[in-house]
Amino acid sequence: MAFNVVTHDETKEELNPMSFRECWFYFGYLIEHYKARKPHNPHELSLSDLVGRLNDDIYSIVEQSDTKTIYKINNELIKEFEKQDQLAVSELKWLTSQGERFCNWVWCVLKDASQRQPLNKYYRREGLLHRLREYLPRKSFDDNCNNHHDRQQDIIKAFKHSELARKDQLLLTKEIVEFSKDRLEDNRICKMFDKHSYDPQWAWEYVQNASKDAEYLAWRPTSDDEYKAATIAFINMNHTKLIKNSLISGLSRAWSQRLQRQKNEDKSCCNIYLNPAHKSWLDTMVRQDKVRLAEMVEKLIEQEAEMRNLT
């Protein structure tokens, strides 16, 4: 993982913290347990400069050649940070025990919340989601992650590398779960995929054309399963019923029109004029047989063609 010990050359073992939070934990631990010195003007330093100071402090505590002791101190710091200020495996079950649909939705929500400014107005203004951009690393969410496992790991990594203390991470998980309830209760789009057998790539292209946010909020799908997953995740991301209803009904209507166009590709247009009586009889037959006008005309022609041995 990114906060493990890394080796820059054969003689140096160095820590590679991914957040100011992690850095400050290590400094605090070194000051308390190893009498290390606090860095001068720390708030003026970038993260990379602070990491450099941190590793310099560790080298100053012991002989630089004593790599065994340095390695021991580094691993002690990592274990204590994991224990005291990171979520335990059991505290990630809110994510890992849920299905792919929930995970994909969380991935999109966190990507949006960590990058967009101003944030979506439907996040609670007093909650963490509304100001998450200050705390989550923007590069946590890889647009090219094309499977459920990788997106789940992106979410976990975002928490681990965030500037949120453990207690705030727990508050955020509760807020996400609460926020998901009314968003994911509506599973019409999942049922429509199953019922109508939408072409997944076509469906994804439809929502991209319908909303400029689709490509921004989701990842870049490259397979049918991922096109379907991205379409569902994006529609679930829309926070108002009006927008969601518009997308779902528009998708359904566009798919029906597409099927009708495909059905009519090998047919010819025929404009005819009928006297009112014949048109009335034809309309009655359409209602009785519960078919379309064109289908009724084709049926009558086929019957006449059989009588004349034309088939």
Q: Which of 156, 140, 149, 147 is nearest to 89 (CA)?
A: 156
**Mean pLDDT of all residues in 96-109:** 93
Task: Give the model's confidence band at 137: pLDDT under 50 very low, under 70 low, under 90 confident, else very high.
Answer: confident
| 170 or 311, greater pLDDT | 170
Per-residue pLDDT tens for 113-127? 887 654 454 454 456
Q: Is the confidence at residue 176, as pLDDT, over 80?
A: yes
Provide the pLDDT for residue 73. 93
Does the pLDDT value for residue 145 go beyond 50? yes
Q: What is the pLDDT of residue 164?
A: 93
Tell me the pLDDT tens digit for each residue of 26-48.
999 999 998 888 777 777 889 99
Distance of alpha carbon 310 from alpha carbon 290, whole angstroms: 27
What is d(CA 161, CA 86) in angstroms, rounded to the nearest whole number?
9
pLDDT of 9 > 80? The answer is no
The angle formed by the CA atoms of residues 203, 238 and 170, to the nearest 5 degrees, is 120
7, β-bridge pairs: 13
Instruction: Note the helical H segments in the chain.
Output: 20-34, 47-61, 67-85, 93-96, 100-115, 148-160, 166-184, 188-196, 200-210, 213-217, 224-237, 241-263, 276-289, 293-307
**In the chain, what percentage of residues exceed pLDDT 70?**
91
Q: What is the pLDDT of residue 133?
A: 79
Name residue 71's amino acid: Y
Q: Which residues contact 291 (CB under 8 A, 6 or more apart)?
A: 299
Q: Which whole-number Å values give the CA distances from 155 to 70, 96, 166, in the listed order?
A: 31, 10, 15
With a CB cutoff of 8 Å and minimum separation 6, the contacts of 166 are 84, 85, 86, 87
Residues in the chain: 311
3-state secondary structure 237-274: HCCCHHHHHHHHHHHHHHHHHHHHHHHCCCCCCCCCCC
Confidence of residue 67 (pLDDT cuts 50, 70, 90): confident
More confident: 282 or 11: 282
Residues 103 and 128: their CA atoms lie apart, in Å, by 19
State yes or no: pLDDT of 68 exceeds 70: yes
245-257 residue pLDDT tens:
899 999 999 998 8
Higher model confidence: residue 239 or residue 183? 183
Domain map of the chain by residue range?
Answer: 5-85, 90-184, 188-263, 276-307
The total of other beta-carbon atoms located within 10 Å of residue 118's CB is 8
* pTM exceeds 0.95: no
CB 70 within 8 A of CB 59: yes
Backbone angles phi, psi at 14, to 5 degrees: -130, 150
